[in-house]
Structure 1
Amino acid sequence: MSGPDLISQRQVLLEATIQTLPVGILVHDDQGYCILANAAARALGSESIHDLAAAAVDRPDTVITGDLEGRTLEVQARTVTTERESYTLTSIADVTRHHAVQRQLIAQAFIDPLTDLPNRTMFEQSIEDLIANARADDRFALAFIDLDNFKHINDYYSHAAGDALLQKVADRIRNTLRPSDMLARLGGDEFVLLLNPIPDRDSTLAAVYDISERLKRPYFIDGYEIFASASIGLSLYPDHGTTYELMRRQADSAMYRVKGSVKGGVSVFEETMSRAATDRMAVEQRLRLAIRDRCFCCAFQPKVDMRTQAVLGVEVLLRWRDELGIIHAPGGFIELAIELGLINDIAMQVLLDTIQAIPDLDEAFGSDISVSVNIAAKQACDVPFMTAFCKALGETGIAKRFVLELTEEAFFTKGSFQREVLPLIRDVGAKVSIDDFGVGYSSLAALAEITADELKIDRSFVTDIHKRPRSQIVLKAIESLGLALDMSIVAEGVETFEEVAYLLGATQIRCAQGYYFSKPMLLDEIRSEFGRSSDKRYA
């Protein structure tokens, strides 16, 4: 092939290559006339493309982004010079899809999909930037917002209703904010609010109180009128910290103070809260070590037939033997264990220890006694945990002797307990008891739906019952209701002879539990007091 033919062939190949490029190519001569436009450029439309190209020519070697009929284009012009002439080469790329994917990735990284609020990552970065650029006189506030009893709302009304509630809460707070404020969802039912700038402590507190009151107004979701509230903790910059992490901890401490007193309130951080938070972290660490080292033990409190004094059963009560050998009742740590998600491990330890104690309990009280184990409401609705628990109980071969005591909350939510968990308990042969009846979520309509075997009347109805005529009426009503629904009745918290005398004389209740008969006893105490006795009664 001769030289001219080879050059001609390469020119054809070059032009074909340019025409098939997915990027638009325009070439203008030094007079501004377009001498080449490939297929990709022509497909974009001449007039608008030439306008963008002209803008690019005015700013050579700079990428210019423009919109054209819903598409996003990036245009860049370069000067190409030969020995004789100068040309302008303009490239045009359709980056619509690229930008859409970019926006989607940014949204996934920084936006909460349920509420369209900034998420934890975006909020933290924004606060850190704010602090890094803060002047000496700048002041702002962080408010930690945690919904109260959200788990109960989720279980009772459904998770869809819970999600709708979170969206409505976000909208109520968002509608009160200034453009310079920022609300974010950290996850679950937790929100965090930046108020920037703030004039002073009192006006800031007043603004947060206003938000708190707005959140207490009823929400209408799926035909229900739902009431909710939020506990809010507040920290101020720079008074309570000059880093985001420190301010977050301080606001969190203030919020937990509200949770521990009157929910639905507002609290500003104080130094005493920091010490309380430190103490709480220490208890948490000790609690985790106690689970690891199996430092929990069981105490057993008898249920007694008041007429015959015979022991009918025992309730298993959790105790914590600390590193000094001191025994602690669960009041100081059980709520923390539930909150931290440690309660399931503790419950399985309790079950194992109870099974191992059965021979000693039988020796002391007889092999026909029942054994009652407490299950927290949160556990009762945890299907995977209850499946494992019932499986372990069934493998003992004596599940029919066990009574699972649950508070009313577990029964009266529209969650999974009665639908999925209760059949598991029935399948292994265990019984079910309603614990602390009368002080929780009890209602006649809800009680009619329950198929429990036992009703434990809360001690608040039993204490000084012989002196309280109105409580006597309520007690008789609960007794009649339980008997009509074929439930055995247990009176809790019986501590005096007068209370026993009233129950025996004025009610049909036979089974009672309380310090009048026996305090909770560790296994060593039971062995010592009852191990060699043939009399299984309380004198």
Structure 2
Amino acid sequence: MTLFKEINSLLFGLFLLVMSSLVYFQFTQARDFMSQQMKSDLNNTMTSLGLMLKPHLETGDMASAETLVNVIFEGGFYQRVTLKWLVNDKEQTWDNPVVIQGVPQWFVDLDLFEAQKEQTLITSGWMQLATLEIEGHPALGYQELWRVMNDTLMILSLLFILSILAVRVRLNRILKPLHQVAEQAKEIAQCKFGQDIEVPKTRELKDVVGAINVMSGQLKHVFSTLDQEIHELKEEKLIDRVSGLANRQYLSAQMHNWLDEPGYGGLILAKLDCLEEIYAKYGYQGRDEMIMGLAKRMQLELPEIAEGIIARIANTEFAFLLTRAERQQMELYLQTLIRLINQEVSKAGCPPNSNFALGVSQRVAHMSVVDLLSQSDNALQQALRDNKISQWLDTEQAQRYSREQWRTKLLDAINNKQSSFQWQAIFGLNMQKIIQREMYCRLTIDQELVRAFEFMPFVELLSLGSQLDRCLLESIEQQKLLEQAQQPVAINLTHDSLQDGEFVQWLGGFLKKSPYARRMLFEIPEPAVLSAFGRCRYLAETVRSAGAKVGIDQCGRQLGSLDYLQKLQPDYIKLDQSFVFYEKSNQSLEMCRALINVARGLNINVIITGIEDQLQLEHFSSLKADGYQGYISTPEDVLPETAADRVH
């Protein structure tokens, strides 16, 4: 029971005790008063009637005496009157069946009043004329007592209700700080740190509220410090100090990630020999000022055209990795980049369209990092030889299908649910047992199994992501694949689905109907969280309300802050494969360790990805993550459950 209910119950009990006491005292006093009142009335009637009967009894006028008794009898609450003449011992009795009006019978049946009876002797001097006996009826007592108790109960009930309401309002105000402390404590337990609680006026509560505010502030500072530590480590190891752009190390890691995943885009290498000329004129300060100005403008304008990574890889060389760009977008990106360089060069007093060159290459299937860099570098060298501003190196790889053919074949595969699945085991780092699995899909196109690596770029280009995700989820449900898994199964959603509000609503309804909702884990890539946090949080809330869980994939890939982890509170995160690349390049594990510490502090499980062999696994085991995933375990086919399987 809550403190509010306990205090409210105590006050309610006290009020009820006081009310019961007041009602009892009022009841007994009213009953005693009415009993005395009826007795007094009976005595007065007895005296008055005796005096009025005396003359008639002296003269022997029996008719007048009877008439007088009838008048008195009918005008009051008397049950019986008995008149006995002593002359001839004649006795006459009058009975009156009094009906009590306005009083319930159960109240009358309580027998609250004793029967009252009075008897007197009527005399004339020394002569005894008659005896008169009157028996009263308690009707008046019951009527008055019932009226008094009704009025008393109504007034006390009204006062009781008003008092309870007043106490409730006052208690709410008094206990509001305690309620806020409880809510703040719950949020702290979930590693959520909101605003400080307003300090109350109540002296006893000031210390409690002050302590919880201090504790919340200290924990918030701890996590902010950890986040700042990661940011500083990234700046130290992955960011060029002059331009504030990514350096060669970060670019190389992201190129490996990008080429290992389905995608489309290209790479632009830029060599700005004009920087040497500016250095000769103005020194390193002038050169650095131009680099910083150019970097700011590139970061401001280029991401609006296409997603990508801008890096400074040498003194006069820059690289632009376009991770989601078609040919037309790359051409616009290139034109904008040339314009920005010319504007900054002109500001420095150098002629435009001179002393710089750009080489462009586009990603094709089965391309490695070395291939992509070589093609872009060849294009750059050709531009320098031909004294051209830019050179685009076109690959001669023939496309399997045209864009419209891909649309037709993808829609056909989606609508007919021509999909098959594999999953990969994710092991616990210490227990060496499977803690979850990740699902992968393949589509059957032209009677051939096509991997996601090949068709996903066209799914994104054609905005078919939400349709594909619906198809795959329905196929997983219909084929009862989750029945075969004893562990939770991770499912990756496309970027289109994350942006589609209708899909999220459909997903919520789908999960509520599914008996396997609690076995599903939905992974959101970190870039999507940073670019559309509101939509991702809405998706996470929808998924969790149905019993499923949410994870963050590619965590740590971006150079920004990790404060979104505190706001989103995912159930687990998967570290980006770039951390494994940094380890291969003899980089320290400080960033990885700091990120795991942040997640641990937020009660978020951590899975390391990209593990290739046992030696690498042993190297990362010191980080004490929860699990690992990578090429060390290969994906396995997941076959639909047949009716025969279900029988066995």
TM bin (shorter chain) = 0.3 to 0.5
The structure having more radius of gyration, on CA atoms, is: 2
Alignment TM-score, normalising by the size of structure 2? 0.39
Query: Normalized per residue, which structure has more strand?
Result: 1
Alignment TM-score, normalising by the size of structure 1? 0.46
